[in-house]
Structure 1
C-alpha cells in the first residue's frame, strides 16, 4: 500500500504542475498506461516469493521481476493519481462565471456557509448560492463564491453561518496576483471550491430571508462562530486574542501581525494552527477518560470490559473526540493527516491486524489527496507529512537495548519484557518501549533509574526535535525564504508549554459554562503573555533567523539527500558527506545580472506601481504599491517578493509621489528590509521621511539631473525639476531612466539598452520632457505612464521614447478602467511587445548591452486553472 499511495501522490503532484488539462487523446493514453502498469504489476508480483521468504534468498531473476513489479505499481498508481486529479479539476472548473457578468450588479440568493473573517473595514465569508435571480447562463454557474461585506455608512449586520440572504453583488472570476516565487492564490481558491469572488454592492438593500439553512456543515460553522463570539466577549482587545481563537476554531485572521511575525521568526507558527499535535492531545485525553470509565462500568452484573475490551472503547472515544475537534478546526491538512492516521489505526485495532506506522502514514497521504487533490499546492501539506515522515525515519535508526537475555526461545518467551510492546509500533517504538520497561525494572529507590529514565526521554525528544528541524529546514527556506535557527530551542519549551497549558485551557473552556469559561480563557491568555516574552527574547538574538533566497529544484534535491543521509541509521557509510550536500542551499550562487546589465521586474500588485531594478551587486525599488488603506500589496507582495529572492537590503527605495497606490507600501518595506537610501518626490512633511531617518537611511529628494552608476549601469532622474514641489502629486513624480553599458560587439552601434519608469506623469509633463530633450527619453523598455490612463501616453511622447516593450501595471477589472482602450490601441498600433499585469502577471526584463529578453509570469508559470492568456 505504501508504493500505491506514494505513486498516487506523485501523479497528483505532476498534474498540479501542468499548464493545461489532458485532452481526449491524453486520456486514452492515460487509461492504457494505467491498465498496462497494473497488469504488469499483477503478473510480476503474483508469482513472487511468499511473505515469509527472505528477499536475499531469491534468485537474481526473481529479484529483477519483483523490482519491475513494484516499479509498475508506482507507474500505474501515478497514472491513476494523475487521472483522478484531472477529473476532479475538470469537474470543478466546469463551474465558471461568464466573463460578461464580471463587474456587473447581479442579484443572488443563498446562505453564508463559513465562519466570517473580520477585518478593519468589514468581513469576508463563503456564500453558497441557491439561485441566480433573473440570470441564466449556458454553462453551470458557481455554487460557492467568496464575498466581502464592507461597512460603509451602516455597521455590519450579524453575519451568522447558515443565514439566508438576498444580495446584490459584483463578482469577478477567481484571479490572483501572479509573481515569480510567490504563492498562487488562485490555486487556494480552487482548492476551496470558490469559483467567483466579489463584494456586496448594495448593502442597504440586502434582505435577510426568514428560514436559515440547515445541515451538518452549517451546524459546525455555527458552533465555531459561537465559540469565537464567546472568546471575543471574554478577551475583547487582548493582544493575543487571535492565538486563542486560532487554537479554538482554526481561524487565524485575528492573529496580530506582531504575533505572526514573532512565531514565524522563531519557528513556532505550527503552534497557533490546530495541528496533529493538538488533535493527538485531545484524542489521547478523550481516549484515556473513555477507557478509564469503561473499566469501572458494569452491565447487568457483568464488567463492561468483558463485553467490549476497554482498549477498543478508548480508541473509539479518542476517534470521536478527534473528529469533533477536527470539525471545529475547519479540517485543515495537518488535522486531516492526524485524523486519518488515527482512523486507520482504529480500524486496524478493531480488525485485529498489525499495521506498521509507515503504512498508516501512506494511508493518510492517500486519503488526504482523495479528498483534496489541491492540498499539494499548500505549505501545510508538505510541512505536516514531511515532519511525521522525518520522525519515523529518524526513529528507525535508534538502536535497540542490548540486554543479557536467555539464549533459548522458551526462556525468551518467559522474559517479562516479551510481547509488552505496542503491536502497531514500528522498530523504533518497540525499542523505546523496551528501554522504558528496562528502566522501570530498576529498584524504585535507585536514583540512577530515575536519571536513566529522564535521560532516555530527553534523548528521544532531542532526537525527534533535531529530525523535524533538519527535515523541514529546506521546505521552510522554499516556502518562507528563511530558516529559524532558534527554532529547536524555542520549540523545546514552546511545544510543552502550549500543549500542556495553553491548549488544554482553551479546549476546556469550550466545554465549560459561563462564567467558568472566562477564567480558563484568561488563564490561557496569561500563559501566552509569558510565552511571547520568552520568544521575543530569542527573536532578538542576532543569529535567530537565517534568511535565504527561495531555492530552486537542484538545491532542494541536494538538501533532501543530505537530510536522508543525516537521519539514516547509525552505521550508514560516509555520513560526514551529508553537510556538504547543503552547500547549494545555504550558499546560493549569485543570481544578479552580469556587470553592465540590469534586470527589471514589474510586480503584479494590482492597481499600483512597484518595479525592482537589479544590477550585479545593487538593488533599487521604484515605488512600493498600495498599503493598509487598500490591498496591502506592500506587505503581501512586495516585501515577500524581496525576501523570496534573497534581497534583505535595498541600496535605494525611490517613491515617485504621494499617491497611495505608489507610496502606501513603503512603510512595510522599511519594516521588512534594510534601506540604504530613501529617494522620493513627496512633500517634506510626509511621515515617510521621518520613518526613513529613524531606520538610518540616507534621505534625498529626487530631482532632475541626479545621476549615478552601479556596476556599469547608469541611472538618471529626468523629473521633477529641482526646487519646491508644486501642483498635484502627478505633476512632480519622479521619472527614472536606467541604461546598460555600451556593447563591445563590433557590429552593434553603441548597443545600449534603456528602460524608462514614468510613474504617473501626465500629458503636461510629457510635453515638457519631449521639448527639453527627446533623445534623452529614448528607451527600449517603458513602464507605461499613469497605468495607461487617457491623460498620458501622448503621441509625441511615444514617438520620442519609441519602446520595444511596454509594461502596464494595472489591477484586474480596476475601477479606473485602466488601461484606456484608446491608449492601449495606440501602443498596439506600434507593434510594441505588451505586458499587462492584470492578464500576464509580473513582467521580467533582462537587459544586456545589445540584447533584450522579456518574460511574463503567466506565460512561463502557467497552470491549468489560470484563464487563457491575452493576445497582443
Structure 2
C-alpha cells in the first residue's frame, strides 16, 4: 500500500513540475537549467545516502520541471534557424488527402515532415505546415522537394481571444511556410492513405461528408462552418472529435465480434485474453488511422493500463489510474500541458470520477434498464455542472441546452452513427460495395436526424464574462455540500464561500477609463471604455471566411462584459470598416459616426463637432466635409480628453492632411498618446505633425507579415530621432492604457498582462525592435 501511495504521489509531483510550463514568462537559460540540475543531483546523492521522503518529492517535481523545459527548448532550437528563410527541402507528407477530386481545391495548410535541407540530412525531422496552393493534392507518405518561404505562427494576442501561438507549439505546427515551388520525388502513398482512398469514393456521395471524415479519419479540417457552430453552441462538439468514447466503442465492438467468433471454435483453442488483445489491437489501429491525437493517446494508454491490471489481477482506484496516465503522457510529451484538448479530456475524466464517487446513482436504479434515461440525465446534469469552469476558460461561454442535446446526441452517435461508420469502413476495405454503401447511408441519415434536432435547440449559447468565472465552480461546491452534508453545520462558512465566488461580479475597475488597441493584424480596432460601456474606433478587417470582429473584438468585449454604445469609423477601407456589419448586428443599438455620407450616420464626423461621453470629451479635428466614399485623406480624426490626459486617433491620415491640421490647430494637437497615422507608413508621420502632437507614447497597429512591411524603417527612425516611445501590436499584442485622475499606465499582453514564453517573438527581430 505504501509503495502504491508513494508511486502516485511521485506521479502527481512530476505532473506538477510539468505544469509550470504553462506559467513561465521565459524558458530557463542553459546556465540556469544546469544549475538546477546540479542541485537536484546533490539532493539525489543525499537521498541515496540517507533516505528522505520529502526530498524525493522535491526531486521528482524538479525533474518534471527540467524535463518539460528541456523538451520545449529542444523543439524551439530545432526550428529557430529556419524561421523567415527561403529553403529547398525534402519532406514527407504527414496529412492524409481527403479532398474531393471533382471540385476545385482551394489553398489549405498541409503538414510535412522535413528530413533534408539543402541536401543535408537532418538528425531529427522537422514538422512544418505548408500553405499549399498547388493544383496537385499530395498524399500521405509521398516525398516532395519543396522550395519554401518560411515564417512562424504569430498569434493575434488579446484578452478573451484564441491563443493560436500556444496551440501551434502544443501541436508542433509553429513553423509554417508559403509554397514557392514543388516537385514530386516519390509518389508512393503509405497504408493510411491507401485506406482513405478506398473509403473516400463512398464518403464523397453524402451531404455530411465533413463529419463522416471527422469520425472515420479524425480529419476536422473540412468541417462546414455551419456544422461547427451548431455543434459548439449545442455542446456536442466533443462527440465529433476522436476521443475516449470512440476508442472504447471500437474496443467493445471488436471484443464482442471476437467473442461471437470464438463461440464456434473448439474450447481448447479459446483463451480469456484473446478478445481483449484483439480489441486492443483494433483500438490501437483506429487510433493510428486517426492520427494519434492527444485524446486518443490518453484513451489507448488508459485501456492498456486497464488490460495490464486485469492480467496482474491488481486493483487500483480510478483516481490512481488517471494520475499515472497523466504523468506518463507528460513524460512522453510535456508540451501536451499547453493543449486545450489535453485539459478538456483530463478534466472531463476527473469530473466523471468525482461525480460517480461523490454523487453516485442509488443502487436500486443503477442496474435496471427502465431507469436508463434517469442514469443518462444524472450523467449529463452532473457533467454540465462540473464542466462549467473548463468551458468558461476554453470557450468563454456555455450552451444552455447542452443537457438536452447530449441526451439526444450521445445515443445517436455512440449506438448508431459511429458503429455504422466502423462497419462501413471495414466493408469498404473488403470491397463489399452494396453493404458498405448501406452502412455509410445509415451513418449519414443518422447525422441528418441529429442535426435536424440540433437546429431546433440551437438558441441558447451563453457568453460568460471573465468576472463570472469563479462562480462556475458552484457545481463542484454543490456536489461536495450534498455529499458531506456540511450545509447543516457550516452554513455560515458556505455563505462566505459563495460570497467570495460572486465577489468578482461586483468588482469595480481600478481605472477611471481605459483604451485598448487590439491586436487585429493589419487593421485598426480601438476600444474606449469605463468597465461597463464602450465606444469603438474602427472595426478591423473582414477576411474570406471570418472577420476581426468575430474572432477578436466581440470575444474581447464579452470577456470584459462591455456594452457597445457607439462606433466611430475612420474611413471605408476594409482593414478599418470590414467588421462593421457584424458589430452592428450584435450591438444594434450602438450609434454610428463617420465621415462618409453613404453610411446611415447618427452623428457626422466633421471638424468642430464634439460630444461628451462618461466625462470624456470627443473632439473631431478632421475632415472638413463629408464624402461619398471616405479614403485615407478623409479619415475621421478624433481627440479624446479627460481634462488632464488625451489621446489622438488618426486612422490612416496622410501627410498633406497632417500639414493642414498643424496649420489649423498647432499646439491644440498636443496629446499624451498618439495612434500612429496609416500604420506607420512613409506617407504619414511627418516631422511637423509629430512635433506638434508631442506624444509620450505612440501606438502602431499592424501585423508581423504584412506585405507593405509596415511600420516602415524610415518612420521608425523618425520616431527614434524624436525620442518617441513607440509600441507595435505585432510585437506587443494588445496594448492597454489605464487612466486615473492623476496618473496613467501602459500595459501590453506580451509584456505585463500575460507574459509567457510561448508568446515570445520567435525568429529574427523586426526593424522596430
TM-score by length of structure 1 reads: 0.78
TM-superposed deviation, 1:807: 1.0
Task: Tell me the equivalent position of 2:755.
Answer: 862
Secondary structure, in 3 states, of the residue corresponding to 1:94? helix
Q: How does 1:94-173 map to 2 (within 5 A)?
A: 94-98=77-81, 102=84, 105-115=86-96, 121-133=106-118, 143-150=126-133, 156-173=135-152
Q: Distance in 2 between matches of 1:473 and 1:863?
A: 25
Task: Tell me the equivalent position of 1:589.
Answer: 505
Sort the Cα spacing of 1:117 and 1:667 in 2 relative to 1 into closer, same or farther, 3 A: farther
Task: Tell me the equivalent position of 1:230.
Answer: 201
Q: Distance in 2 between matches of 1:314 and 1:676?
A: 64
Q: Distance in 2 between matches of 1:590 and 1:721?
A: 44
Indicate which of 26, 31, 38 corresponds to 1:20: 26
Q: Distance in 2 between matches of 1:219 and 1:682?
A: 59
Aligned length: 746
Task: Tell me the equivalent position of 1:387.
Answer: 348
Task: Tell me the equivalent position of 1:297.
Answer: 265
Q: How does 1:468-507 map to 2 (within 5 A)?
A: 468-507=383-422
- Contact residue 41 and residue 73 of structure 1 kept, 8 A: no
Aligned: 1:244 with 2:212: yes
Sort the Cα spacing of 1:830 and 1:75 in 2 relative to 1 into closer, same or farther, 3 A: same
Aligned: 1:841 with 2:733: yes
Task: Tell me the equivalent position of 2:616.
Answer: 713
Task: Tell me the equivalent position of 1:618.
Answer: 533
Q: Which moved more, 1:561-570 or 1:36-45?
A: 36-45
- Contact residue 478 and residue 551 of structure 1 kept, 8 A: no
Please list the CA deviations of residues 302-361 of structure 1 after superposition, one character each: whole Å capped at 9, or x if unmatched: 5333xx21xx22221221121122223322222222221111001111223223222221
Secondary structure, in 3 states, of the residue corresponding to 1:127? strand
Sort the Cα spacing of 1:359 and 1:617 in 2 relative to 1 into closer, same or farther, 3 A: closer
Please list the CA deviations of residues 709-740 of structure 1 after superposition, one character each: whole Å capped at 9, or x if unmatched: 222112233223333336x6112222222212
Sort the Cα spacing of 1:200 and 1:801 in 2 relative to 1 into closer, same or farther, 3 A: same
- Contact residue 594 and residue 616 of structure 1 kept, 8 A: no
Task: Tell me the equivalent position of 1:443.
Answer: none
Sort the Cα spacing of 1:610 and 1:398 in 2 relative to 1 into closer, same or farther, 3 A: closer
Sort the Cα spacing of 1:400 and 1:786 in 2 relative to 1 into closer, same or farther, 3 A: closer
Sort the Cα spacing of 1:519 and 1:399 in 2 relative to 1 into closer, same or farther, 3 A: closer
Indicate which of 353, 356, 370 corresponds to 1:454: 370
Uncovered stretches (5+) of structure 2, i.e. residues with no partner: 1-6
Secondary structure, in 3 states, of the residue corresponding to 1:492? helix
Aligned: 1:724 with 2:627: yes
Task: Tell me the equivalent position of 1:809.
Answer: 701
Secondary structure, in 3 states, of the residue corresponding to 1:321? helix
TM-superposed deviation, 1:781: 0.9
Sort the Cα spacing of 1:670 and 1:343 in 2 relative to 1 into closer, same or farther, 3 A: farther
Task: Tell me the equivalent position of 1:427.
Answer: none
- Contact residue 595 and residue 627 of structure 2 kept, 8 A: no
Secondary structure, in 3 states, of the residue corresponding to 2:730? helix
Task: Tell me the equivalent position of 1:59.
Answer: none
Q: Distance in 1 between matches of 2:279 and 2:481?
A: 33
- Contact residue 737 and residue 754 of structure 1 kept, 8 A: yes
Q: Distance in 2 between matches of 1:140 and 1:857?
A: 36
Q: Distance in 2 between matches of 1:471 and 1:42?
A: 46
Q: Distance in 1 between matches of 2:756 and 2:708?
A: 28
Q: Distance in 2 between matches of 1:163 and 1:478?
A: 40
Q: Distance in 1 between matches of 2:221 and 2:637?
A: 39
Q: Distance in 2 between matches of 1:276 and 1:459?
A: 23
Q: Which moved more, 1:180-189 or 1:370-379?
A: 180-189
Secondary structure, in 3 states, of the residue corresponding to 2:108? strand
TM-superposed deviation, 1:824: 0.9
Task: Tell me the equivalent position of 2:476.
Answer: 563
Aligned: 1:377 with 2:271: no
Please list the CA deviations of residues 7-51 of structure 1 after superposition, one character each: whole Å capped at 9, or x if unmatched: 221111112311222243454335534774897699789xxxxxx
Task: Tell me the equivalent position of 2:516.
Answer: 601
Q: Distance in 1 between matches of 2:48 and 2:501?
A: 38
Q: Distance in 2 between matches of 1:141 and 1:777?
A: 57
Q: Distance in 2 between matches of 1:847 and 1:566?
A: 43
- Contact residue 109 and residue 130 of structure 1 kept, 8 A: yes
Task: Tell me the equivalent position of 1:333.
Answer: 294
Please list the CA deviations of residues 74-125 of structure 1 after superposition, one character each: whole Å capped at 9, or x if unmatched: 53332221111012112112113448x62x5432222222236979841111
Aligned: 1:737 with 2:639: yes
Q: Distance in 2 between matches of 1:117 and 1:592?
A: 52
Q: How does 1:774-853 map to 2 (within 5 A)?
A: 774-853=666-745
Aligned: 1:656 with 2:570: yes
TM-superposed deviation, 1:671: 5.2
Please list the CA deviations of residues 132-180 of structure 1 after superposition, one character each: whole Å capped at 9, or x if unmatched: 22799xx9997221110236xxxx2122122222222211234222223
Please list the CA deviations of residues 512-553 of structure 1 after superposition, one character each: whole Å capped at 9, or x if unmatched: 23354344334333322332232232232xxx333222359x
Aligned: 1:676 with 2:595: no
Indicate which of 387, 397, 408 corresponds to 2:358: 397
Secondary structure, in 3 states, of the residue corresponding to 1:207? strand
Q: Distance in 1 between matches of 2:412 and 2:499?
A: 35
Secondary structure, in 3 states, of the residue corresponding to 2:220? coil
Q: Distance in 2 between matches of 1:207 and 1:682?
A: 50
Sort the Cα spacing of 1:27 and 1:668 in 2 relative to 1 into closer, same or farther, 3 A: farther
Sort the Cα spacing of 1:628 and 1:241 in 2 relative to 1 into closer, same or farther, 3 A: farther
Sort the Cα spacing of 1:38 and 1:680 in 2 relative to 1 into closer, same or farther, 3 A: farther
- Contact residue 540 and residue 577 of structure 2 kept, 8 A: yes
Uncovered stretches (5+) of structure 1, i.e. residues with no partner: 46-68, 402-431, 440-451, 690-697, 743-751
Q: Distance in 2 between matches of 1:256 and 1:592?
A: 42
Secondary structure, in 3 states, of the residue corresponding to 1:491? helix
Sort the Cα spacing of 1:274 and 1:679 in 2 relative to 1 into closer, same or farther, 3 A: farther
Aligned: 1:536 with 2:515: no
Task: Tell me the equivalent position of 2:3.
Answer: none
Sort the Cα spacing of 1:699 and 1:582 in 2 relative to 1 into closer, same or farther, 3 A: farther
Please list the CA deviations of residues 637-677 of structure 1 after superposition, one character each: whole Å capped at 9, or x if unmatched: 23333333333x31123332222222223344345555522
Q: Which moved more, 1:558-567 or 1:352-361?
A: 558-567
Please list the CA deviations of residues 371-429 of structure 1 after superposition, one character each: whole Å capped at 9, or x if unmatched: 3212222222222111111211221135697xxxxxxxxxxxxxxxxxxxxxxxxxxxx
Q: Which moved more, 1:337-346 or 1:523-532?
A: 523-532
Task: Tell me the equivalent position of 2:4.
Answer: none
- Contact residue 562 and residue 579 of structure 1 kept, 8 A: no
Secondary structure, in 3 states, of the residue corresponding to 1:2? helix
Secondary structure, in 3 states, of the residue corresponding to 1:131? strand
Q: Which moved more, 1:16-25 or 1:225-234?
A: 225-234
Q: How does 1:151-300 map to 2 (within 5 A)?
A: 156-202=135-181, 206-210=182-186, 212=188, 219-220=191-192, 222=193, 225-226=196-197, 229-230=200-201, 233-235=204-206, 238=207, 240-298=208-266
Sort the Cα spacing of 1:721 and 1:37 in 2 relative to 1 into closer, same or farther, 3 A: farther
TM-superposed deviation, 1:786: 0.6
Sort the Cα spacing of 1:129 and 1:711 in 2 relative to 1 into closer, same or farther, 3 A: same
- Contact residue 656 and residue 682 of structure 1 kept, 8 A: no
Q: How does 1:637-648 map to 2 (within 5 A)?
A: 637-647=552-562
Secondary structure, in 3 states, of the residue corresponding to 1:96? helix
Secondary structure, in 3 states, of the residue corresponding to 2:177? strand
- Contact residue 142 and residue 195 of structure 1 kept, 8 A: no
Q: How does 1:306-345 map to 2 (within 5 A)?
A: 308-309=271-272, 312-345=273-306
Looking at CA atoms only, which structure, 1 or 2, has the larger radius of gyration? 1
TM-superposed deviation, 1:563: 0.9
Please list the CA deviations of residues 812-862 of structure 1 after superposition, one character each: whole Å capped at 9, or x if unmatched: 132101111111111122222211122222211112333221112221223
- Contact residue 715 and residue 736 of structure 1 kept, 8 A: yes
Q: Distance in 2 between matches of 1:36 and 1:266?
A: 52
- Contact residue 112 and residue 159 of structure 1 kept, 8 A: yes
TM-superposed deviation, 1:211: 5.1
Secondary structure, in 3 states, of the residue corresponding to 2:539? coil
TM-superposed deviation, 1:792: 0.4
- Contact residue 234 and residue 518 of structure 1 kept, 8 A: no
